[in-house]
Amino acid sequence: MIDLYYWPTPNGHKIPIMLEECGLPYRVKPVNMLRGEQFEPSFLRINPNNKIPAIVDRDGPGGRPFALFESGAILQYLGEKSGKFLPRERRARYVVLQWLTFQVANVGPMFGQCGHFLGYAPRKIRYAIDRYRNETLRLYGVMERRLAQEEYLGGRYSIADMATWPWVHVRWLHRIELAEFPNVQRWYEAIGRRPAVQRGIAVLEERMKIGNPDRAAREALFGRTQLQQGRRVDKPSRKPVRGTRGRAKSRVIGA
């Protein structure tokens, strides 16, 4: 059983999509990042970077619980565990890892900043908007040219597509018209028709709230608590990871 520490956002969506695609059983542990639950000590023991997604595989390597954060690492781990969507053959594997890294190092951070300065920043700063929106458009161009040659980013459908698709799914935040990128559109629509993708993005969908943060969300995401994390001193702990305590009941999904 895999515990999925989750909130419905583009980075979050990647993991239930993959879990649904490979049919691994999981239960959802909501981490309401709009209310600061990512700073709870029990969650910081799983991800010291106070971000979702994270997992604890109760049946990890060696039969012991294994905690993991960073969506790129989690997708690789699940690909290896299930033997699906991450090719074994070395050339094919590294092509997939290359496009996965392209997502986590480029698409996520740049689209994220683009959405921030367009929709979240309290003041509209022209330089920042232009900088990140131009980068976003440039990255769409890279994907468009790749998808003109290959059906999927890594050649065959893989964890690289699952990492990237949720960011194209929220393109309205970045003011992107998909019709300008016909190959990205073809790819986006084909992936969106997959039943596992539809089940993955439906997880906690009712709690999804992107854009227009209230005061509490603004404080949790961009306020003093974030700043204080830089000065946090943790007491040394030898305790094994047990998951979060006192949180909303988890939902069990899968076989």
Ligand X SMILES: N[C@@H](CCC(=O)N[C@@H](CS)C(=O)NCC(=O)O)C(=O)O
Contact call for residue 46 and ligand X (CB under 6 A): no
Can you tell me which of 38, 136, 164, 244 binds ligand X, judged by CB under 6 A? 38
Number of residues that bind ligand X (CB under 6 A): 15
Quote the DSSP letter at residue 25.
-
Contact call for residue 113 and ligand X (CB under 6 A): no
Quote the DSSP letter at residue 38.
G
Q: Which two tokens stand for residue 36?
A: 């600061």
CA–CA distances in Å: residue 135 to residues 26, 113, 117, 187, 231: 36, 10, 13, 21, 32
The residue (of 100 and 184) whose beta carbon lies closer to ligand X is 100
Per the CB < 8 A criterion, the answer to whether 52 and 30 are in contact is no
Can you tell me which of 28, 104, 153, 168 binds ligand X, judged by CB under 6 A? 104
Can you tell me which of 52, 78, 86, 160 binds ligand X, judged by CB under 6 A? 52
Distance CA 39, CA 225 (A): 8
The residue (of 15 and 197) whose beta carbon lies closer to ligand X is 15
Contact call for residue 151 and ligand X (CB under 6 A): no
Contact call for residue 244 and ligand X (CB under 6 A): no
Cα dihedral 190→195→196→197 (10° resolution): 50
Distance CA 89, CA 249 (A): 40
CB of 186 vs ligand X, minimal distance in Å: 26
Contact call for residue 51 and ligand X (CB under 6 A): yes
Which residue reads 């440039």 in tokens? 138
Distance CA 187, CA 167 (A): 13
Helix (H) or strand (E) holding 147: helix 126-149
Contact call for residue 33 and ligand X (CB under 6 A): yes
Can you tell me which of 5, 6, 11, 30 binds ligand X, judged by CB under 6 A? 11
Contact call for residue 100 and ligand X (CB under 6 A): no
The residue (of 70 and 151) whose beta carbon lies closer to ligand X is 70
User: In this structure, are strands 66-69 and 54-57 parallel, antiparallel, or unpaired?
Assistant: antiparallel
The residue (of 119 and 150) whose beta carbon lies closer to ligand X is 119
CB of 91 vs ligand X, minimal distance in Å: 25
Contact call for residue 50 and ligand X (CB under 6 A): yes
For residue 22, give the nearest of 52, 41, 2, 48 by alpha carbon: 2
CB of 102 vs ligand X, minimal distance in Å: 13
Residues in touch with ligand X (CB under 6 A): 9-12, 33, 38, 50-53, 70-71, 104, 108, 221
